[in-house]
Structure 1
């Protein structure tokens, strides 16, 4: 399928780049062959096993079918086994990666409510199959079919792929609310799938938020000159299967290229098309419970028919909608079924959307509050819903805000947008969504009442100074604008109980957490007076560095009977860009030295 064509000739080294968007319900892959002195062309993979070529869609179902612990089918082929008891099909598995801050409540909905999110139950993973394994199996399927599409679309494609596959760059899209923990799962899965080696994973795998990928896609496929000007502010709403990412951008330049900066922290809520489907399922179960149309297989057929046609066509203009789920022998006039077609009233279909659309509208209103926004770009699979478009237009037209859509229903915006992002890099600065900092030991101050309350935790260093553990030092406050080269430097001092000549065996390694504060403001402490971590603190990752190279930079201190060494160094963390990077710096005889720092994701899924 034809896609984006760059407006400038490529000047770098020959390479293959892929954009992979694994959504909750649908997945797509884009690819480009970058060749010096040629215009970049982005293509979509639109030939998938089990999917008729006549459809012409680049989207495939995000499904993986297992039998006896072995992956047997993926995508459209896996959908054939959803009702086969011999197979277990992993669906909506992306929901298992969502951090707790994104997940909806497990409380039951109010009586009589058809809410699809209040009582949302995430489908379990197949027994004994980890989330990382499912992603790895699915990625292998994606890459195998992408290779075939690449080889068929380019002259001498087989030789090109064979020559460049080991240096191929792969960009994954992720929800705005994901961080290093989720990126690490995708990275390990890509290694297991054979896409990259562990040694090259950090260099060849990249991550871009679905919101940022979508804004690149939207700008490429809309007439930006008609509405985008310098200092204009606009919102991008990426409504997908399970998440809605909302980002506010300000245009800082239109010539020679469009450049954008985030205006405020982006938003990510758990809402989307799957919640509408689940609400419809609830209605069907209530309506047909106790009848011969109430079994699981029949309800599943209704939900599938509702999702593939009824939901997508509904625009609130018809008095009733049809769910074409059965055969001509299926009739129950009392319940609205005639020859396999279920009639749903306008109010019933509205009810399936209500909770999700309210969450999206509330989120958009909060994002836009107090800001002069003229346009909202609505993208994503659920963003194609005519009813969602209508409701947003009704709400924001009255406020002078125009809702703009990109009419490319056969495509997946984030997959193609990931490569457009790789090529154009339109977004110059991002806004921190949370406060990021590190744990520190605080010099004890007898005049500070908070310090006195923590008196029992005092410890004494070799230097004789008293400290309190449990402090929090902010590196990046929430709302900070971070350009591509935004870095933070944190100085550290360690004491070694030895002389400089004996330091080699004492230096060891340095480790510290990089923590996230999900509350307001910037805290002074990460623990309460009892040493318990505050619930708003979450570990993002762990930084680890080998200090052995610092043995020639030590400062020996103390009296002759109690000599010790001080180790001074700095940890420099680069927050700009889409991946975290860190390094260690120290002075040796007045010369600045540098060393590597490993970034180890802390949390497990």
Structure 2
């Protein structure tokens, strides 16, 4: 494990990381002092929390009253008064709300029926913002009460504090955009360019890698020169990422395969148990107790389960609760171990398949698999992984007893240490274009009905995808990808603003850049709109031209669309030539989170 270098920034700074998980959330922070070695600290004390310790997390729950006013969150939301049957008309609980931010993929459609609906009148951004505001308050209280002169410390550092928010590997720009809006609504940052620059994002897989590196868990595995797989198994998602060390001092890593994200976290094990219980108790007096029995399973039996050959028990009632036909005696339900194993099976198989796919896709040979996240505490999941991959020579391990704190601590390490300097593109990125019609091209001839003339008089054919960045490309953080385009208008003022779509191709065809273009209608379900690049072209020269047909005047603006995809967040610029030198202007990425796309 390498030593962290002293902070070399010009002034003192506070960095806060919020890991908002599906079921539990945590906070880590670091006070950066010039000349001092940064130390990552965790918030280990929350209001109303019973257990205080190194792996402290709070439930990701928000309570509202019937008028939609915020009432409580975290451990305070577990107050018995919110569960009182007599008061069940007073309160509305929001839980698992993070999953309402998920990308609208068809493979995730099953999630809709598994997660509770949002409170009436609330959006996912509203609830996320309320929870971020609560975490911010918890961080303030902890720092003020823990550090000497804490109130003054917080007052001095808070206005310029920087934030890191974590999200699953499968979250994209639309989800980051919604999380940023929530952070602004919560008051973490102002809605200004400077304010938005104080917020950054990191995937849960990459944050977990940083945690494993800093805990020393990867030091032996990386000595072999082989790669490692990080499996972050959480409440809602299972995120799989693969990395290889490229430099030992200072330590640097790069992704060696496109990361994966699956909705198979531990809450889906609980949902499988609930459905089993509902079926089993369909015609019994215990049907109404299924929600309570499910909660008991979630808190006890699920965590203890490790042997499918032994009967398992759910303690849920009193000595008076019995039904021999249902295997209920003295308030305890007996289940076959094989039945409990079946609750886990979809998640276990998902992990096995995903790790196997990563082994095949990785550009480096893999030596070790690291299991982190709240679901990593499951002995059954861990032993099944060791059983599956131990026989092919992979070392499977859990790096720390406090697996719950990996992502929050790792998010701070991501900000401070920045070990990953190259990532792999998950999809092919490009845009929709037209090209000059070629009657000798069979592909063009077959689509001749869609031809039209542009202002220059040229016969053009549309429906093409122009690749800016191919899939499975290793991209460094400084690497830019660009393609040249032009826009025509009958008046120069028509060319002052552009809105260019950025499209993802999610299929298997190996696409190339340069002159290669692909007709979208060959695989229409494999293309989806990611966002639009909005840019101001008012400074771009508008060149006068003459139509070859009508001899009428028109104007052309030539520019490059430049994408930076090596960062954890997509960035775009517009570039053009002016008096022999390149000029550039930042572009705004506008997302539509409601688009339903294929995987």
TM-score, length-normalised on structure 1? 0.90
Q: Where in structure 2 are there 5+ consecutive unaligned residues?
A: none
Whole-Å separation in 1 of the counterparts to 2:109 and 2:553: 57
What's the CA shift for 1:389? 0.7
In structure 2, distance between residues paired with 1:32 and 1:102: 39
Q: Is the contact made by 2:373 and 2:403 (CA closer than 8 Å) also made in structure 1? A: no
- State the alpha-carbon separation in 1 of the partners of residues 169 and 217 from structure 2: 26
Corresponding position of 1:76: 75
Length, aligned pairs only:
578
Aligned residue number for residue 114 of structure 1: none
8 Å contact kept, 1:104–1:270? yes
Cα distance, 1:15 vs. partner?
Answer: 0.9
Give the 3 Å change call, closer, same or farther, for CA 370–474 of structure 1 in structure 2: closer
Q: How far, CA to CA, are the matches of 1:241 and 1:85 in structure 2? A: 28
Q: For residue 38 of structure 2, what is the aligned residue in structure 1? A: 40
Deviation at 1:335, TM superposition (A): 3.0
Q: Which moved more, 1:166-175 or 1:72-81?
A: 72-81
Distance 1:471 1:450, change over 3 A: same
Partner of 2:346: 355
Judge conservation of contact 1:508–1:547 (CA < 8 Å) in 2: yes
The structure 2 residue matched to 1:569, chosen from 554, 559, 562, is: 559
Report the Cα distance in structure 1 between the residues aligned to 2:465 and 2:403, rounded to whole angstroms: 48
Moved more, 512-521 or 365-374: 365-374
Specify the alignment match of 1:7 in structure 2: 4
| Closer/same/farther in 2, CA of residues 55 and 587 from structure 1, 3 Å limit | closer
Deviations 1:166-214 (A, max 9, x none): 2211111111111011111101111111111111343011111100000
Say whether residues 1:394 and 2:387 are aligned partners.
yes
Q: Taking structure 1 as reference, are residues 273 and 264 closer, same or farther at Cα in structure 2, changes over 3 Å only?
A: same
Range 473-482 or range 87-96, more displaced: 87-96
SS in 1 for 2:481: strand
Q: Secondary structure at the match of 2:268?
A: helix
1:146-545 correspondence to structure 2 within 5 Å: 146-199=139-192, 200-229=194-223, 231-254=225-248, 256-295=249-288, 298-316=289-307, 319-369=310-360, 372-409=365-402, 411-498=404-491, 503=492, 505-521=493-509, 522=511, 524-525=517-518, 527-528=520-521, 534-545=524-535
**Could you say if the C-alpha distance between residues 526 and 599 of structure 1 is closer, same or farther in structure 2, counting changes exceeding 3 Å?**
farther
Q: Unpaired segments of 5 or more residues in structure 1?
A: 107-116
* Displacement of 1:428: 1.6
Match of 1:580 in 2: 570
For residues 306-330 of structure 1, the C-alpha deviation after alignment (integer angstroms, 9 at most, x for no partner) is 1112111212177233322223443
- Check conservation: 2:257, 2:361, Cα contact below 8 A: no
Q: Do residues 125 (structure 1) and 124 (structure 2) align?
A: no
Mean CA deviation greater in 381-390 or 223-232: 223-232
CA 1:174 to 1:223, structure 2 compared with 1: closer, same or farther past 3 Å? closer
CA distance in 2, matches of 1:223, 1:131: 36
Query: 1:381 deviation in Å?
Result: 0.8
1:591, CA displacement in angstroms?
Answer: 2.5
Q: Distance in 2 between matches of 1:591 and 1:20?
A: 43
Asked whether the equivalents of residues 56 and 410 of structure 1 are also in contact (C-alpha less than 8 Å), the reply is no
Aligned with 2:48 (options 47, 50, 67)? 50
Cα contact 2:104–2:594 (8 A) shared by 1: no
CA contact (8 A) 1:321 1:346 kept: yes
1:208-245 per-residue CA deviation (whole Å, 9 max, x = no partner) reads: 11000001111222343333226311111111112111
Separation of aligned partners in 2, 1:37 and 1:327: 61
8 Å contact 1:575–1:581 — kept in the other structure? yes
Moved more, 21-30 or 343-352: 343-352
Q: RMSD of the TM alignment (CA)? A: 2.4
> Is 1:96 aligned with 2:93?
no
